[in-house]
Structure 1
Amino acid sequence: MNENRRTIQSVENAREIMAVLEERGGASVAEVTEQVELTRGTVHTYLVTLNEEGFIRKSSDGEYDLNLKILDLASSIRERQPIYRHGRNEANELAIATGDVTHLAVESDGVVYMLYSSRGSLKQETPSNGRLPMHASATGKALLAKMSDDRVEEIIDQHGLESLTTHTITDREQLYEELETVRERGYANNYQEQTVGAQTYATDVQLPDGSLAGSIGISGTIGRFETKDTDELVQTMIEAANQIEINIQRARS
């Protein structure tokens, strides 16, 4: 194994260990070792190093957990996203205008990350750091619809099509049909595919070169959306997406 490969593997090992800590909400050396393909001694070395660097912390009972230093990295990454920098005001205004929850999201490694949320009914801004499967979220499907078939296949192969509710699309052909519908109408719809009783509409936001900046979505309960004019709601969302694209273009001029 060459030096570059060893370095890459070390990063991957650290990522897996931190993922275990995230999932379990803290774990001992033995508990982490059970979840990764590394020896107990190697796991201990990684945990000690990550602790010394401040990315994790060790409690009095000997368990390790993620540390707040990670938030500094997350905030820095989020601030560098064009859709976050130039889309927050539009998300806020959309939330206030509709009274619903709005989201700004991006794709990374085949997963949707929610960068920002705004709750119009409460008239307050709410940061969000959620992670969602692309096939079961409107923000994800809006992005998948703009990707090549090869890229969509890669994401499916990597993450699968897990069923979250009885409404989740779990068949490849059905997903491709859904993505074609998204392309034709210009927005994605998530009807109870992620959470029973909830619905989300979303559309993509593009950078000046035509690549994807992310997506903007609007969520509510099924009962709430049934009382609204869908065409008007979606059009308002698309206008917000268009304005974000204009904001990004102006910032780069």
Structure 2
Amino acid sequence: MKSKSILYHKEVFNIKQDHLVSPNISAQPKNNTVTAVDKALKILDAFTYGQPELSLAQLNRMLKIPKTTLFNHICTLERAGFLYKVNNTQNYRLGYKLMELNYFAHSSLPIMPYAVPLMEELCSTFDENVYLTTHIDGRVLYLKCLHANVHSIAYSVSGKTLPMHCTSCGKAMLSYMPHEEVVRILETHGMPAITQKTHTDFDSFMEELALCRERGYATDDEEESIGGRCVAVAVRTPIGNVAGALSISGSVMSMTDDKVSGCANTLLEACHVLMPHAHLFPAIQLQKG
């Protein structure tokens, strides 16, 4: 049985009260960085998907922090659960405390009560995976995924980031950003070829964004993952600022042209429903001013 219509959710959502406000970051002092905290954050930020395990010597070379100071910071982070030492080595990895904080941050996102019911309906209607994303620092940040097939390998994407130029969500969001911001993002992060089908030419990519803007949705045809096809629509505030995106993703076999068209039309409706609540997306809440 199909779930209630998108318009039903619009009526329900209009009853809810948006009582959360964005933090006024600009009101905070600009020169209030605590050096010790700044160093600790740089240590944590040094760990990446490609380098999940680092030694004291490696961190010293990367961060240029004196070894004694660095060791003291690492010990403090280790005691607090933010790092742990790998058995029988001198290497460190990110600790469980970050997983705990990620869960708290994810589960308390104020957009979730509005977005999840829509995602559930989309997942049920099209029997494909549904993603909720936002943009942070010029990258796509994944907030939630609902998996259509309970027998498929389901893993959490909360907190995962990807380049904007190779994903349908990224392209949908870029298509409504000011030209100067798009250029800045692409210059900062580049346009690496994630697959052989990824857009890597600036001019042709700008033409792609113009097409996305014209039709109201973006697609990813094996540009981020071979065998995958996705369609996404941007969520914008009432004044047009890009807050995030919703996408439906499946295989190139299941996501036929007709299905992509149907998904796009329903996503457009869903994102229109989310528009009054777009200020609850992280990208908008983190804006200064």
Q: TM-score range by the shorter chain?
A: 0.7 to 0.9
* Cα-to-partner distance string for 1:55-76 (whole Å, 9 max, x where unaligned): 2223443322111211333234
In structure 2, do the counterparts of structure 1 residues 184 and 8 end up closer, same or farther at CA, with 3 Å as the change threshold?
farther
- Answer yes or no: is 1:17 the counterpart of 2:47: no
The match for 2:5 is: none
Deviates more, 1:161-170 or 1:43-52: 43-52
Aligned residue pairs, count: 246
In structure 2, do the counterparts of structure 1 residues 20 and 64 end up closer, same or farther at CA, with 3 Å as the change threshold?
same
Given that residues 33 and 40 in structure 1 are in contact (C-alpha distance below 8 angstroms), is that contact kept between their aligned partners in structure 2?
A: yes
Q: RMSD in angstroms over aligned alpha carbons? A: 2.8
The match for 1:187 is: 217
Question: More relative contact order in 1 or in 2 (CA 8 Å, sep 6+)?
Answer: 2
* TM-aligned CA deviation for residue 81 of structure 1: 4.1
- Secondary structure in 2 aligned to 1:224? coil
Q: Pairwise mapping of residues 88-107 of structure 1 onto structure 2 (< 5 A)?
A: 88-107=116-135
Match of 1:128 among 127, 137, 157: 157
Given that residues 21 and 64 in structure 1 are in contact (C-alpha distance below 8 angstroms), is that contact kept between their aligned partners in structure 2?
A: no
* Cα-to-partner distance string for 1:88-119 (whole Å, 9 max, x where unaligned): 11112101111101100010011111110001
- Secondary structure in 2 aligned to 1:116? strand
Q: Which amino acid aligns with 1:230?
A: V
The match for 1:237 is: 267
- Secondary structure in 2 aligned to 1:146? coil
The match for 2:287 is: none
The match for 1:71 is: 99
Identity over aligned pairs, percent = 26
* TM-aligned CA deviation for residue 19 of structure 1: 3.4
Q: Which amino acid aligns with 1:178?
A: E
In structure 2, do the counterparts of structure 1 residues 4 and 69 end up closer, same or farther at CA, with 3 Å as the change threshold?
same
Given that residues 231 and 260 in structure 2 are in contact (C-alpha distance below 8 angstroms), is that contact kept between their aligned partners in structure 1?
A: no
In structure 2, do the counterparts of structure 1 residues 68 and 85 end up closer, same or farther at CA, with 3 Å as the change threshold?
farther
* Cα-to-partner distance string for 1:23-62 (whole Å, 9 max, x where unaligned): 3232221233343343433432332232233322234433
Deviates more, 1:193-202 or 1:51-60: 51-60
- Answer yes or no: is 1:118 the counterpart of 2:155: no
Deviates more, 1:121-130 or 1:97-106: 121-130
Structure 1 alignment gaps of length 5 or more: none
Give the TM-score, by structure 2 length.
0.75
The match for 2:81 is: 54
Poorly superposed stretches of 4+, deviation over 6 Å: 123-126
Deviates more, 1:37-46 or 1:173-182: 37-46
In structure 2, do the counterparts of structure 1 residues 202 and 8 end up closer, same or farther at CA, with 3 Å as the change threshold?
farther
Matches of 2:209 and 2:257 in 1, distance apart? 26
* TM-aligned CA deviation for residue 226 of structure 1: 2.5
- Answer yes or no: is 1:87 the counterpart of 2:115: yes
Structure 2 alignment gaps of length 5 or more: 1-29, 280-289
Matches of 2:64 and 2:172 in 1, distance apart? 36
